[in-house]
């Protein structure tokens, strides 16, 4: 028997709102299944379960705000006996439901009144309001016919034109967006304040000649369709992942005064949200993925991040973070480490600069790479080896 608890989805998270259950009592679940959605200051996050079993009891109902660590449900291991109190509750539940349902049978409800009895998750109701969807025309596919977010999205896609709706809606929508924007700004500020307060940062910077990598990538992309082309950012992700294999001390966490290097390499990639703010979900096992797999993973992650469809593991597993601001013209990035990680790598814009090699001067496409390191876990020598490893992998890009 295990308690499924409200997870911590970031160093700055203290509480969350349970938005929707994806399971019901009695459902069998497997490790990695999405069983709930939680709203945090950074958006709606899909929560995974990390063990096999049966949902014995749901303890928290949608709409409730609870602190991190609060038990949300009881998961019973396969073959394990039910708790006596759960078995007793099951005996009483059917008769209660029958009593409620009995008077309704002889008196069919008029179509107009059905709208009041619609079963729908809070998130789906919010989406429906924003998209001006008539809930009485939406078929629910959730437990007991409840309408979920996917049902609303499907109805919106089938609608030919969204209705221009009541004048009260735009102000409400703006207010919600403003509230979310304010929330994510507060979350970022809290995490960065903690980082600056607790982590003794050191910073390193180097320049990398990108001519070999870009020429090779250009030649490779000419063989591909537009949809299959690889972005330069993917080369950087893979180079960082391989460099962490060479210098593993930077891949990990500082927890309870102890440096804890991690074997698995999960790259957190900073993604900007349309409404403002940044989220850094993880690309899992980036060192083991090919460039094509990384490109697909990055594309998928960006789409789901901006649509609010991230998983809890993607929010908590990052072992290092990459921030890349080159696409908006920034040449040098000095980042702040996201606790409990011990390093952050920054990449700026690739610019043409004078470059001397073998006594010859020329113009090369040059990338500025920076490292923010935690001095409790590593030092400048280790950080310098890491930046040098990134450079070497980019020069030998065919092996990425």
Annotated domain spans of the chain: 2-90, 202-399
Residue 250 Cα to chain centre, angstroms: 22
CA–CA separation, 147 and 138 (whole Å): 7
Token pair 């399971």 is at which residue?
23
Beta bridge partners of 289: none
Instruction: Per residue of the chain (400 residues), give pLDDT as tens.
Output: 688 899 887 666 788 899 999 999 999 999 889 999 988 876 778 899 888 999 999 999 999 998 988 999 999 987 777 766 655 555 554 544 444 454 555 555 544 444 445 777 766 776 677 677 887 778 877 766 778 777 777 777 776 444 444 344 455 545 554 555 566 667 677 777 888 899 999 999 999 999 999 999 999 999 999 889 999 999 999 999 999 999 999 999 999 999 999 999 999 999 988 777 788 999 999 999 999 999 999 999 999 988 878 898 898 899 999 999 988 889 999 999 999 999 999 999 999 999 999 999 999 999 999 999 999 999 999 999 999 999 999 999 889 8
**Number of other CB atoms surrounding residue 103 within 10 Å:** 8
**What is the DSSP code (8-state) at residue 161?**
S
CA–CA separation, 146 and 124 (whole Å): 10
User: Which CATH number applies to 202-399: 3.40.225.10, 3.40.50.300, 3.30.559.10, 3.40.50.2300?
Assistant: 3.30.559.10
In 3D, which of 183, 156, 185 has the Cα closest to residue 39? 183
Which value, in Å, is the radius of gyration of the alpha carbons in the chain?
Answer: 25
CA–CA separation, 1 and 207 (whole Å): 54
pLDDT of residue 164: 43
Residue 94, classified by CB atoms within 10 Å of its CB into exposed (0-12), middle (13-18) or buried (19+), is exposed
In the chain, count H helices and then E strands: 10, 20
Residue 138, classified by CB atoms within 10 Å of its CB into exposed (0-12), middle (13-18) or buried (19+), is buried
Which three-class secondary structure state does DSSP give residue 135? Answer: helix
Q: Is the C-alpha dihedral spanning 269, 272, 273, 276 positive or negative?
A: positive
In 3D, which of 303, 382, 386 has the Cα closest to residue 346? 386
Cβ–Cβ under 8 Å, residues 368 and 348: yes
Determine the length of the chain.
400
Cα distances (angstroms) measured from residue 104 to each of 108, 110, 117, 137: 7, 12, 12, 22
CA–CA separation, 388 and 102 (whole Å): 74
Structure tokens at 323: 């921030």
Sheet holding 28-29, edge to edge: 2-5, 71-76, 53-58, 28-29
**Residues 6 or more apart from 169 whose CB is under 8 A from it?**
129, 130, 132
Helices (H), the chain: 84-101, 111-114, 122-131, 149-158, 169-198, 211-222, 232-246, 291-307, 312-316, 380-395
Cβ–Cβ under 8 Å, residues 152 and 131: yes
Kindly report the pTM of this predicted structure.
0.70
For domain 2-90, the question of CATH label 3.40.50.300 is answered with no
**What is the DSSP code (8-state) at residue 334?**
-
Cβ–Cβ under 8 Å, residues 25 and 69: no
289-299 pLDDT tens trace? 999 999 999 99
CA–CA separation, 192 and 112 (whole Å): 51
Structure tokens at 112: 């107009």
């Amino acid at each position: 028997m295990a308690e499924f608890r409200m997870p911590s989805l970031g160093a700055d998270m203290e509480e969350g709102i349970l938005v929707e259950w994806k399971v019901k009592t009695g459902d069998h679940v497997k490790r990695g299944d999405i069983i709930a959605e939680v709203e945090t200051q950074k958006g709606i996050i899909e929560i995974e379960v990390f063990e096999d079993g049966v949902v014995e009891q749901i303890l928290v109902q949608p709409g409730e705000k609870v602190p991190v660590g609060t038990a949300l449900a009881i998961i019973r291991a396969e073959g394990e006996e039910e708790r006596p109190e759960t078995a007793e509750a099951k005996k009483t539940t059917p008769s209660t439901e029958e009593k409620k349902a009995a008077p309704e049978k002889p008196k069919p409800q008029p179509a107009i009144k059905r709208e009041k009895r619609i079963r729908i998750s809070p998130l789906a109701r919010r989406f429906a309001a924003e998209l001006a969807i008539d809930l009485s025309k939406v078929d629910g596919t959730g437990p007991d016919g409840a309408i979920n977010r996917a049902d609303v999205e499907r109805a919106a896609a089938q609608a030919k034109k969204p209705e221009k709706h009541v004048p009260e809606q735009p102000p409400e929508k703006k207010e919600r967006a403003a509230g979310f924007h304010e929330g994510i700004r507060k979350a970022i500020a809290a995490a960065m304040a903690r980082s600056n307060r607790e982590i003794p940062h050191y910073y390193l910077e180097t320049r990398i000649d990108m001519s070999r990598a870009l020429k090779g990538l250009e030649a490779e992309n000419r063989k591909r369709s537009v949809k299959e082309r690889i972005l330069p950012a993917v080369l950087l992700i893979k180079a960082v992942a391989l460099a962490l294999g060479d210098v593993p001390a930077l891949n990990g966490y500082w927890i309870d005064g102890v440096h804890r290097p991690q074997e698995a390499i999960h790259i957190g990639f900073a993604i900007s949200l349309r409404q403002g703010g940044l989220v850094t979900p993880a690309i899992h096992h980036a060192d083991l993925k090919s460039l094509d797999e990384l490109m697909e993973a990055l594309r998928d992650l960006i789409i789901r991040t901006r649509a609010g469809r991230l998983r809890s593991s993607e929010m908590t597993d990052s072992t290092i973070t990459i921030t890349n601001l080159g696409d908006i013209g920034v040449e040098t990035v000095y980042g702040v480490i996201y606790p409990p990680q011990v390093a952050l790598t920054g990449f700026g814009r690739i610019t043409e600069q004078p470059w001397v090699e073998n006594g010859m001067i020329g113009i090369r496409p040059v990338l500025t790479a920076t490292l923010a390191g935690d001095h409790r876990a590593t030092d400048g020598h280790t950080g310098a080896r890491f930046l040098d490893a990134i450079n070497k992998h980019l020069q030998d890009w065919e092996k990425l």
